[in-house]
A and B are shown apart, each in its own frame.
Chain A
Amino acid sequence: MLKDITLGQFFPGKSILHRLDPRMKIVLSILYIVVIFLCKNLAAFAFITLFTAAMVVLSGISLRTILKGIKPLIFILAFTAIYNLFFYGGDRLLVKLGFIEIYYEGAMYAVAMVVRIVCLLVGSSVLLTYTTSPIMLTDGLERLLSPLSKLKLPVHEFSMMMTIALRFIPTLIEETDKIMNAQKARGSDFSSGSLVRRAKALIPILIPLFISSFRRAGDLAVAMECRCYRGGNGRTKMTQLHLSFRDFAMLFVILLCGAAVLLINRFVPGFSL
C-alpha cells in the first residue's frame, strides 16, 4: 500500500542522531555526501559502507525499515549496475558472450556505483529524514540560511513553504488511500486493462484529491491569517536550537572519516575510479 513507503518518513526515537542539532545534521549530511564522492577505490567504498552501517546502528532504526526504504529503488539500482557492467569499457576482459563484453573495470564500476547510491540514500535518510522531525528539519534549514535574508531573500517564507509541504505529504498519502478505497468500493479497477483504461481509472482519484487539496490550502491560509501570521518579521521561536558537545563530536567524526577516505585513496592499491 501507499502507506508502506518509508523513504522520507520520520521515526521518533532517542538515539544520539535524533538528538543532534538539526543545523549540524544538515551540515553533516552535506559533508557526508562529499565524503562519499571522495571515495576512489574499493577499500574506500568498503570503509564508507562500514561507516554508513555504523550510523544505522547508532540511529536505532531497524534494518527492516531501511531495507523497505531501498526497495522502491531496486529498479534504478539494477539498471545502474547492468548499464555499467555491459557498457563500461576497459582493458581486462572478463567474459565475452557474443557481442556482450564484460570488463573488470566495468564490474568494479558497477559495484562502486551501486554502493555509492545505496550509501547516499541510506546515510542521508538516517542522518536527516528518519531521525529528524520535519519541523526541526525546516527550522534548522531556516536558521542555516538566515544570513541570506540580509540579501532580501525570502528565507522564512521558503522554509514555511517547506514545512507545510512536508507536513502535508502524509496527509495526502492518507487521503489518496482513502479515496482509492472509496472508489474501489464502487468497483473501480486500477490494476487491469489497457494503459489507457488504467490512466482513465485514475480520474476518480485525482479529481477528489485536487479538490480537497485546494480546499485544504484555502482553509490553512485562513487559519494562519486568523492567528495573525504575517511572515517572518519579528517572529520568535518556541524551541531554541543549541549546539552542544555531541554536535561538535559528530562533526569531528565526519571530518575524520573524510580524512581516512583520502588516505585510503592514496595509499591502498587496487582498482581506482
Chain B
Amino acid sequence: MNKLELKNVSYTYSAGTPFCKKALDSVSLSFEKGQIIGLIGHTGCGKSTLVQLLNGLLTPDEGAVLLDGQDINRKGGDLRSVRFRVGLVFQYPEYQLFEETVYADIAYGPKNMGLSKEETDRRVRETVQFVGLSEDCLSMSPFDLSGGQKRRAAVAGIMAMEPEVLVLDEPAAGLDPIGREEILGGIFSYQRKKKSTVIIVSHSMEDMARYSDRLVVMNRGRVLMQGSCREVFSRPERLTEIGLDIPQITRFMLALRKRGIDVRTDIFTVEEAKDEIIRVSGGRHRA
C-alpha cells in the first residue's frame, strides 16, 4: 500500500510578486512503505521544496499531498500529528539545536509528542547509537560539538521521534568521507531496524547507489526519471544532459566497454565491479 503520495503538486514561491519562482511543476510521486528512496537533481531543481511539502511546512498551490490516502492539508486536519509521522531533517540542520545539553535537544521532539520519560530516554539512547555519537556527548552543550557532531545530534533529534517516514535533506553534505559513511550507514541501519520509509536527498551518486532502493531524478521542478538504481544509471546520457553524474565506477565500466572489454555497464558499486571484472577475466586473478 502507498503510504505517502504527491498528486500533481505545483508550488510557486512569492506568487504574485516580481520575484515569483515556480519551484515545482505538477509533480506526482508515491513513496512505498519500507523503502529507501534517493532524491537527486541539480542545484535549485526543487528538492528542498518538495521535502517541505511532505510534512505540510509548505502547502501546494495545486494538487495534494496524501498520507494514507488522506490530504494532509485538508480542513480540520492535524498538521502537527502529520509532522510526527513524517519527520523532516532540513538541509544543514545544525542551526535547530538550542537546548542546554545534547540529551535535552534530542529529547525535544519526543517530549513534544507527549511520550513518557522512560520512552524518551530509551529513544535518545538508541538514536545516538545509530548516528554514532558517543554517550559522553549527551551531557555536553550542543554548541560545544564539532560541525559533524552537531549534524548527528540534529539528525538524532528527528530520528528519536521514530517517524513512519523519515525525510533527510542532504544529511551528509559538507562532511568528511568517514563522517558521510557513518551518518548514512546509521540511517541505513535505523531503516532496516524500524522498517520505516526513508527519503534521502543527495548530490552524491555513489552514496545513493549504495543505499537507496529506488531513485527519483528531478530536473527544473519536474520528475525526470524514477526507478531502481540499475534503471536510472543505465541511461547515463540522460543524467549528464541535466548536469548530473553517474557513479565513478559506472563511468569506469563504460570506459572499459569503450576499449573493447565486454563488461556489463549497469554496475554502480565497487563490489559488483570487482566481481564483473573477475568474471570477464575468466576468474584467473581470484583475490
Contact = CB atoms under 8 A, between A and B. Distances in A.
Contacts of B57: 181, 184-185
A196 interface: no
A187 B14 contact: no
Nearest to A201: B112
B228 interface: no
Given A12-B18, A185-B158, A204 B90 contact: no
B143 interface: yes
B84 A187 contact: yes
B163 to A, nearest CB: 10
Contact of B158 (A12, A65, A186): A186
A187 to B, nearest CB: 3
Interface in B50-105: 52, 55, 57, 80, 83-84, 87-90, 93, 95-98
A186 B112 contact: yes
Contacts of A178: 90, 95
Contact of B16 (A64, A184, A187): A64
A186 B108 contact: yes
A88 B95 CA distance: 52
A62 to B, nearest CB: 9
A208 B83 CA distance: 21
Contacts of B208: none
A204 B17 CA distance: 31
Nearest to B111: A187
Given A11-B18, A188-B112, A189-B112, A183 B80 contact: no
Contacts of A186: 83, 96, 108-109, 112, 157-158, 161
A216 to B, nearest CB: 11
Contacts of B108: 186, 204
Interface in A103-153: none
Contact of A212 (B16, B95, B113): B95
A182 B113 contact: no
Contacts of A179: 95-96
Contacts of A184: 57, 83
A164 B96 CA distance: 25
Nearest to B89: A185
Given A187-B83, A189-B112, A182 B52 contact: no
A135 B95 CA distance: 29
A211 B143 contact: yes
A207 interface: yes
A2 interface: no
Nearest to B17: A65
A3 interface: yes
25 contacts: A64-B16, A178-B90, A178-B95, A179-B95, A181-B52, A182-B96, A183-B96, A185-B55, A185-B87, A185-B89, A186-B83, A186-B109, A186-B112, A186-B157, A186-B161, A187-B83, A187-B84, A187-B109, A187-B161, A189-B112, A207-B98, A208-B95, A208-B96, A208-B98, A211-B95
